[in-house]
């Protein structure tokens, strides 16, 4: 950025009446060396300079709107504006310089500010604009849309090209630079960063945006909502990629991930939306940090390639979380390794990241992953929800990972993470057919797989201690339930296992549901179908406890004074109640007292003061599900 040219004085209009617009046109191949004394710097409003088919060489900084508004510069019909001496062009320099504009248009028109020239659209003013269209070409070292100013715009259209050669292009740079807008639209239209530099949408402020549409291409290292130094945060900034052929490719430099929100706590509500057949490609991964940031890939033909090594949703170095990825309505996404809810530093220090979620929903919506997914890496209440025909394919998936390599990480903090398959499809497999779906991890808290008419296919499903699989649907593949792990058919339908099942924990059917196993069912723990049923058609090897409704018995009845004492063997996870009636054909039963939770031992119920004080009583036991 160049400083103000102190050698130039403003020319003030001598009349009090309104100033009429002026239009100056230069043509026919002239070469102009424009010094500062020849420039209209906005002291007189509504001035238009037209460079029509000429070549113009800047010899000083150029101001289109220095202190006043609605000035225009046009470079058209093969004109060239050249700056080889590292000058700066300001479109709307001061806070009073609003509504100024630059147009570069025509297939032979060129704006060249190399090697070190800078262009500021809305340096401090608002509502200023730059348009590059109709095949025009711009090469610039630095370009910022909204340096300090707000509501400025940059439009690249109609096959126009901007080649950026500096460090980072900015849409909304300094604090106060909010609601600036960049549009790249039309087939053949291109923004490219040729030296591995970045394009940042919202560097220190809010509401800045980029729209890529109708076949346009942006090629740059991207950031949407960057935390700046000095405690400034960037929120509610957005990128929308829409239309067939429209693409953002995060192609350079090698090893840099595309970022949406910074890992600090206060970069909120930033978003990337790929829709209507648009495409997003980031070969070196994607990191989504902060709080409440959002990525959506929606619509048939919409594609997001998140690359590798990692896709981090909810990356935190503080108290981040609540970030979301949605793949819907036929959208498609791919990745290599996925962390949903993660935070760590190179020194091995871990941070929690909670309440992050991925939704894959709708017929034709697909997320394919090449290595591993962690739902809950160092955080809690993270989720993956697959519904309504959505499909997720990955070689390995862990719900609630235990990152023991982190120096300050408490494994129990990784809890209440949930994988839900609701009329959707999850496939966990690889070419070696040893892909693994792990619900929980050693030492982790309670984590869950929930099925609601969903289908899960895994070479191996392991349910770890403290974790649970619940609902109804179909699970294909080998299943092992560890000691302390639970499988529960709960929706009133059937939970179907088509492969072999080894139970070292607890399997349960409640609410009239059915546990159905087509392979060999080996039980070394507890199978409890007191409130449901079991259907083991592939063979049943019982080395543990198998409990049905017929297992509920009154163990012993006795009298103590006028009290009746009844003992009932119990099962952990059920609630027991003792009821009585005075008729063998009762219309209803009455409770003798409060219910008791099953302990695995004998429960004693007392019906006090009934001996010799009334008619005979008949008793039965009521057992309810967890």
Tell me how many domains the chain contains: 2
Question: Taking residues 113-128, what's their average pLDDT?
Answer: 95
Q: How confident is the model at residue 23, as a pLDDT?
A: 45
Distance separating alpha carbons of residues 567 and 573, to the nearest angstrom: 18
What's 446-496 look like in SS3?
A: CCEEEEEEEEEEEEEEEECCCCEEEEEEEEEEEEEECCCCEEEECCCCEEE
pLDDT at 462 over 80: yes
Which DSSP letter does residue 37 get?
G
Give the pairing type, strands 526-528 and 545-547: parallel
Q: How confident is the model at residue 264, as a pLDDT?
A: 62
Per the listing, tokens 């067939």 go with: 244
Cis bond before residue 27 (omega within 30° of 0): no
Q: How confident is the model at residue 38, as a pLDDT?
A: 37
> What is the span of the domain harbouring residue 597?
552-624
Model confidence at 106, pLDDT cuts 50, 70, 90, reads very high
Asked if the structure places residue 410 within a domain, the reply is no
- List of residues 6+ apart from 405 with CB closer than 8 A: 348
- Token readout for 9 is 């004085």
* 565-579 residues labelled b (16+ CB within 10 A) or e (exposed): ebebbbbebbebbbb
Residue range 590-609, pLDDT digits in tens: 999 999 999 989 999 999 99
Range among 312-326, 391-405, 575-589 rated most confident:
575-589
- List of residues 6+ apart from 231 with CB closer than 8 A: none
Q: How confident is the model at residue 344, as a pLDDT?
A: 63
Residue range 530-576, pLDDT digits in tens: 999 999 999 999 999 999 988 888 889 999 999 999 999 988 888 99
Q: How confident is the model at residue 453, as a pLDDT?
A: 96
Torsion over CA of 541, 545, 549 and 555, rounded to 10 degrees? Answer: 140
Cα of first residue to Cα of last residue in the chain, in angstroms, is 68
Domain boundary among 226, 253, 280: 253
How many residues appear in the chain? 626
Asked if the structure places residue 520 within a domain, the reply is no
Q: How confident is the model at residue 345, as a pLDDT?
A: 55
- Token readout for 272 is 């990337």
Distance separating alpha carbons of residues 129 and 428, to the nearest angstrom: 50
- Token readout for 384 is 């993956």
Residue range 328-372, pLDDT digits in tens: 999 999 999 999 988 765 555 667 788 999 999 999 999 999 999
- Token readout for 278 is 């648009």
Domain boundary among 237, 253, 269: 253
Asked if the structure places residue 596 within a domain, the reply is yes
Asked if the structure places residue 32 within a domain, the reply is yes
Question: Taking residues 38-44, what's their average pLDDT?
Answer: 43
- Strand, helix or coil for residue 73: strand
Question: Taking residues 133-152, what's their average pLDDT?
Answer: 96
- CB neighbourhood size of 20 (10 A): 7
Q: How confident is the model at residue 195, as a pLDDT?
A: 72
Asked if the structure places residue 122 within a domain, the reply is yes
Asked if the structure places residue 298 within a domain, the reply is no
Residue range 463-517, pLDDT digits in tens: 999 999 999 999 999 999 999 999 999 999 999 999 999 999 999 999 999 999 9
Model confidence at 265, pLDDT cuts 50, 70, 90, reads low
Asked if the structure places residue 413 within a domain, the reply is no
481 DSSP β-pair partners: 463, 503
What's 496-522 look like in SS3?
A: EECCCEEECCEEEECCCCEEEECCCEE
- CB neighbourhood size of 422 (10 A): 17
Average pLDDT of the chain, as a whole number? 88
- CB neighbourhood size of 370 (10 A): 14
Range with the poorest average pLDDT among 137-151, 220-234, 265-279, 389-403: 220-234
Is the Cβ–Cβ distance between 143 and 199 less than 8 Å? Answer: no
Asked if the structure places residue 151 within a domain, the reply is yes
Is the Cβ–Cβ distance between 338 and 311 less than 8 Å? Answer: yes
Is the Cβ–Cβ distance between 415 and 441 less than 8 Å? Answer: no
Distance separating alpha carbons of residues 337 and 125, to the nearest angstrom: 44
Domain boundary among 222, 253, 284: 253
Is the Cβ–Cβ distance between 329 and 296 less than 8 Å? Answer: no
- Kind and range of the H or E element at 305? strand 303-305
Is the Cβ–Cβ distance between 479 and 495 less than 8 Å? Answer: no
pLDDT at 229 over 70: no
Question: Taking residues 446-463, what's their average pLDDT?
Answer: 97
Residue range 55-76, pLDDT digits in tens: 999 889 999 999 999 999 999 9
């Amino acid at each position: 950025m160049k400083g103000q040219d102190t050698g130039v004085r403003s020319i003030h209009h001598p009349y009090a009446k309104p100033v009429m617009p002026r239009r100056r046109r230069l043509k026919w191949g002239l070469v102009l060396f424009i010094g500062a004394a020849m420039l209209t710097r906005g002291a007189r409003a509504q001035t238009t300079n037209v460079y029509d088919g000429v070549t113009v060489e800047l010899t000083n900084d150029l101001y289109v709107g220095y202190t006043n508004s609605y000035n225009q510069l046009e470079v058209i019909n093969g004109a060239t504006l050249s700056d080889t001496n590292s000058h700066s062009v300001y479109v709307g320099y001061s806070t009073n310089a609003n509504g100024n504009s630059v147009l570069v248009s025509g297939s032979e028109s060129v704006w060249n500010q190399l090697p070190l020239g800078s262009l500021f659209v809305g340096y401090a003013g608002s509502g200023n604009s730059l348009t590059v269209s109709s095949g025009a070409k711009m090469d610039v070292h630095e370009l910022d849309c909204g340096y300090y100013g707000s509501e400025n715009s940059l439009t690249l259209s109609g096959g126009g090209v901007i080649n950026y050669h500096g460090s980072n292009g900015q849409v909304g740079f300094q604090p106060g630079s909010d609601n600036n807008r960049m549009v790249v639209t039309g087939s053949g239209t291109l923004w490219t960063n040729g030296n591995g530099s970045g394009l940042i949408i919202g560097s220190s402020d809010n509401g800045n945006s980029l729209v890529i549409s109708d076949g346009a291409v942006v090629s740059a290292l991207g950031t949407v909502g960057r935390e700046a130094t000095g405690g400034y945060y960037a929120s509610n900034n957005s990128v929308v990629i829409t239309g067939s052929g429209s693409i953002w490719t995060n192609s350079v430099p090698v090893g840099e991930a595309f970022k949406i929100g910074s890992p600090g706590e206060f970069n909120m509500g930033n978003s990337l939306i790929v829709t209507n057949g648009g495409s997003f490609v980031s070969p070196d991964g994607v990191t989504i940090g902060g709080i409440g940031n959002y990525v959506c890939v929606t619509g048939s033909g919409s594609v997001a390639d998140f690359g590798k090594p990692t896709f981090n949703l909810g990356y935190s170095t503080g108290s981040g979380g609540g970030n979301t990825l949605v793949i819907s309505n036929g959208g498609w996404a791919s990745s290599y390794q996925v962390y949903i809810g993660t935070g760590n530093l190179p020194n091995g220090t871990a941070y929690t990241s909670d309440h992050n979620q991925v939704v894959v929903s709708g017929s034709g919506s697909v997320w394919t992953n090449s290595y591993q997914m962690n739902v809950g890496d160092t955080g809690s209440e993270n989720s993956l929800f697959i519904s309504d025909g959505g499909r997720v394919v990955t070689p390995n998936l862990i719900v609630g990972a235990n990152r023991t390599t982190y120096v300050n990480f408490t494994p129990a903090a990784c809890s209440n993470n949930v994988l839900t398959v609701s009329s959707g499809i999850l496939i966990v497999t690889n070419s070696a057919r040893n892909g693994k779906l792990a619900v929980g991890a050693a030492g982790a808290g309670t984590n869950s797989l929930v099925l609601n008419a969903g289908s899960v296919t895994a070479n191996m499903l392991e349910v770890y201690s403290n974790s649970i699989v619940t609902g109804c649907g179909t699970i294909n593949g080998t299943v092992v339930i560890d000691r302390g792990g639970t499988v529960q058919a709960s929706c009133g339908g059937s939970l179907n296992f088509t492969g072999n099942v080894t139970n070292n924990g607890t399997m349960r059917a409640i609410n009239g549901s059915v546990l159905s196993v087509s392979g060999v069912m080996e039980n070394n723990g507890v199978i409890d179908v007191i409130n449901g049923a079991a259907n083991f058609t592939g063979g049943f090897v019982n080395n543990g406890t198998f409990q049905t409704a017929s297992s509920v018995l009154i163990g012993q009845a006795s009298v103590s004074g006028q009290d009746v004492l009844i003992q009932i063997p119990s099962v952990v996870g059920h609630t027991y109640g003792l009821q009585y009636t005075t008729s063998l054909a009762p219309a209803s039963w009455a409770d003798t007292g409060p219910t008791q939770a099953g302990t695995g031992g004998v429960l004693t119920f007392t019906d006090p003061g009934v001996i010799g004080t009334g008619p005979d009583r008949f008793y039965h036991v009521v057992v309810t599900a967890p």
